[in-house]
Amino acid sequence: MTVPDDPVVSAAALAAELTNDAPLLIDVRWRLTGPPGRADYAAGHLPGAVFLDLDADLCGPPGPGGRHPLPDPAALQAVLRAAGLSQGRPVVVYDHGDLAAASRAWWTLRWAGVEDVRVLAGGFAGWTGEVTTRVPDPPPGDVTVRPGGLPVLDAAGAAEVARDGVLVDVRAAERYRGEAEPVDPVAGHIPGAVNVPVTEVLGAPRVGVYCGSGVFAARGVLELHRAGRTDAALYAGSWSHWITDPARPVATGAEPGTVRA
């Protein structure tokens, strides 16, 4: 099995693949502030798709690791096997259409050692094929989760990349500058991080990406993969993990190194 050349698949191309050897379709529709996407799945989804909850199934419980920390490998393996994922089977994930949740699901599966994973371009909103309310009952799969398939940063690694490479903060500019923080209890950014489009850092020696909790940043990693930077690392805990330790410095303002007193 090889990694797809392009981790994004069009609706037309996917429709042509929905045969007896179809990839496993995973619906991960999700909203940052809720409600959960399961109701959307129940109202209609791609034929054969199974629903996985980004919060409960593909991430660990929120806490010291941030709002969307890495899942326990054994728990993730159980979830994926229950969804019907067998070793070597291709996977396509989709969300509402902004590709944030789908990108985090793509990243999580790739990190877990599942190589053939793609994201549906345009998500459910861009799908023009058949939609069903039938919930499949897949036979259990036999996939083995092997963490380490993609690089991941912890807080120390993020600080190192900010110092020696480029650490991209993909949040809105006002959150980066510390002028507004609608989700986390502390406003600002990691000292040295830049708030620029990920495509502007393709030539950097090292690249890391973070956001509030590692969901929207995963789309940045996906974009970097599409541009050839398969070494781009995700700070999975992101800002919500960084601020759990009050000893870690916080920067505010438009400049990367403006550390708040």
State the catalytic residues: 211
Mapping DSSP onto H, E and C, the string for 9-71 reads ECHHHHHHHCCCCCCEEEECCCCCCCCCCHHHHHHCECCCCEECCHHHHCCCCCECCECCCCC
Q: 138 is written with which tokens? A: 């897949």
Q: Are 29 and 54 in contact (CB under 8 A)?
A: no
Closest CA to 161 of 65, 225, 241, 234: 234
Other C-beta atoms closer than 10 Å to the C-beta of 172 total 15
- CA–CA dist 25, 47 (Å, integer): 8
Single-letter amino acid, residue 247: A
State how far the alpha carbon of 132 is from the alpha carbons of 23, 73, 253, in Å.
17, 31, 48
Residues in Cβ contact with 192 at an 8 Å cutoff, skipping those fewer than 6 apart = 159, 162, 163, 167, 251, 256, 257
Long-range contacts from 34-38, C-beta under 8 angstroms, 24+ separation: 37/95, 37/96, 37/101
